[in-house]
Amino acid sequence: MATGTRKLTYYVASTVDGFIAGPDGSWEFFPVEGEHLADLSVRYPEAIPTHVRQAIGVDPANVGFDTVLVGRRTYQPALDIGVTSPYAHLKQYVFARGLTSTDPEVEIVDGDPIPLLRKLKHEHGLGIWLCGGGNLAHQLLDEIDELVLKLYPIVIGEGIPLFAGPFQVNNYTLAESHTYGNGVMLLTYARNRG
């Protein structure tokens, strides 16, 4: 890890061609059913949003994360449906410019994410989940310790990339892989450092 003891993990759904959403921000083409979902909800229960938990009557304990970092364009769809605290079971940081407080449980951050991230890494607790999107992920690229891809057998040709920013080479080691019967893969990469 770059600093501290807590890991920053970018856990995200991607197409085979490296997109996390379509050009218009849509992501409905990622299947919301299939055998991978039950397994992912056990491995990464923190990624189940609060309003979904309430709708399906579950409230699993946090396993790997207690903090989430979210970019404004990832947060906005929740706001648009009146959900101001999408991950109430986590400490939530939303990166946005000119956005006044939306919810007492959400901290709005305007500025360089690196100093905040380094401070968070030094705090005691579970891991830090980088929810996305690609814009925020690229700013935090140097600090990402683990990349967990939910890789769907889908190609879309154009969209919002996993990392949106200038060319930069970063090397990872494949630490774990799991293939589900429906072709979805869970790929866990550890950052090569030094």
The structure tokens listed for 26 are 């849509």
- Helices marked H in 57-190: 72-80, 113-122, 134-139
Closest CA to 72 of 35, 38, 109, 43: 109
Q: Answer yes or no: are the C-beta atoms of 148 and 43 closer than 8 Å.
A: no
Q: Which stretch binds ligand NAP (CB under 6 A): 34-42, 61-69, 71-79, 179-187?
A: 71-79
Rule CB under 6 A: is residue 111 a binding residue for ligand NAP? yes
Least distance to ligand NAP from the beta carbon of 194, Å? Answer: 27
Sorted by sequence, the CB contacts under 8 Å of residue 188 that are 6+ apart come out as 146, 147, 148, 174, 175, 176, 177
Give the residue with the Cβ less far from ligand NAP, 20 or 147: 20
Rule CB under 6 A: is residue 124 a binding residue for ligand NAP? no
Least distance to ligand NAP from the beta carbon of 75, Å? Answer: 7
Rule CB under 6 A: is residue 72 a binding residue for ligand NAP? yes
Rule CB under 6 A: is residue 97 a binding residue for ligand NAP? yes
Rule CB under 6 A: is residue 13 a binding residue for ligand NAP? yes
Give the residue with the Cβ less far from ligand NAP, 14 or 66: 14
Rule CB under 6 A: is residue 95 a binding residue for ligand NAP? yes
Rule CB under 6 A: is residue 20 a binding residue for ligand NAP? yes
Which of 36, 65, 133, 146 lies at the binding interface for ligand NAP (CB under 6 A)? 133
> Which H or E element spans position 56?
helix 50-56
| Burial status of residue 181 (CB atoms within 10 A of its CB: 0-12, 13-18, 19 or more) | exposed
Pairing of strands 19-21, 160-161: antiparallel
Which of 25, 31, 34, 49 lies at the binding interface for ligand NAP (CB under 6 A)? 25
Rule CB under 6 A: is residue 102 a binding residue for ligand NAP? no
